Amino acid sequence: MSEIFLDIETTGLSFKDSHKIVEIACIETNELVPTQRIFHKFINPERSVPDEAFKIHGFSTEFLKDKPKFYEIADEFLKFIGDNDLIIHNAPFDIPFINHELKLIKKDIISKNKIIDTLELARGKFPGTSNSLDALCKRFGVDLSRREKHNAVLDCELLREVYIYLLDAKEPKL
C-alpha cells in the first residue's frame, strides 16, 4: 500500500481571509520507503505574498507570478494522490486550503477518512509539549540542518522520518 506525504505553503493562515496556496508537494512511499515519485509545484496565488508569509517560506509575489494557477495543476495533483492515504502534519490547516481550491473549480474534495494527521498522533504521544514539525525533529534527532525556511518538499521528507518514529517503527532499509 502506498502512502503520500503532503505539505503546502500559503500566503497566510486562512483561506477565509483570501489566503492561497503558493507551494504544494507530495512524496509517495510504499511501506514508508520512498518510491522516488514526487509531485511538486509552485503556484501563482493570484494575490500578493504578505511579508509575514515571505519570512516563513521565502517565496515572493514576483517569484510566483509566472507559476501555474491551482486549477492548472489540480488534475495532475489529484491523479498523483489517487486513493492513497495522505500523511500530513496539521491536516486541519492544509486540507481546508486544498479543499477550498478544489471546490472553486468544482472538483471532488479530499475526504477526511483518507488523512493521517501526524500532529494529532504526536499530541496523543506527547501531550502538553510542543509538537511542531521542528520540535518533533529535535525530539527524534532528525537532521534539520537543510531547513533554512519552510519548503514543502523538505517538510514532506522530514515528516516521513518523524512519522516512522511516531509509529515506533524502524527506519526502513533502502
Q: Buried (b) or exposed (e) across 122-143, using 16+ Cβ within 10 A?
A: beeeeeeeebebeebbebeebe
The pLDDT tens digits for 54-66 are 999 999 999 999 9
pTM for this entry: 0.94
Cβ 40 vs Cβ 24: under 8 Å: yes
Backbone angles phi, psi at 97, to 5 degrees: -65, -50
The pLDDT tens digits for 68-126 are 999 999 999 999 999 999 999 999 999 999 999 999 999 999 999 999 999 999 999 99
The residues annotated with a catalytic role in the active site are: 150
- Could you give the angle at which helices 70-81 and 91-104 cross, rounded to 10 degrees? 120
Give the per-residue pLDDT at 25.
98
Report the SS3 class of residue 89.
coil
Give the per-residue pLDDT at 169.
59
Length of the chain: 174
| Helix H or strand E encompassing 18 | none
Cell numbers found for residue 43: 503556484
Cβ 174 vs Cβ 30: under 8 Å: no
Instruction: For residue 98, give Cα distances in angstroms to 14, 33, 80.
Output: 11, 25, 14
Average pLDDT over residues 32-56: 97
Q: How far apart are the first and last CA of the chain?
A: 17
Report the SS3 class of residue 16.
helix
Q: Return d(Cα 170, Cα 166) in angstroms, integer.
A: 10
Q: How far is CA 23 from the centre of its chain?
A: 9
Give the per-residue pLDDT at 173.
47
Backbone angles phi, psi at 30, to 5 degrees: -125, 115
Q: Return d(Cα 169, Cα 161) in angstroms, integer.
A: 10
Give the per-residue pLDDT at 174.
44
Give the per-residue pLDDT at 88.
98
Give the per-residue pLDDT at 168.
85
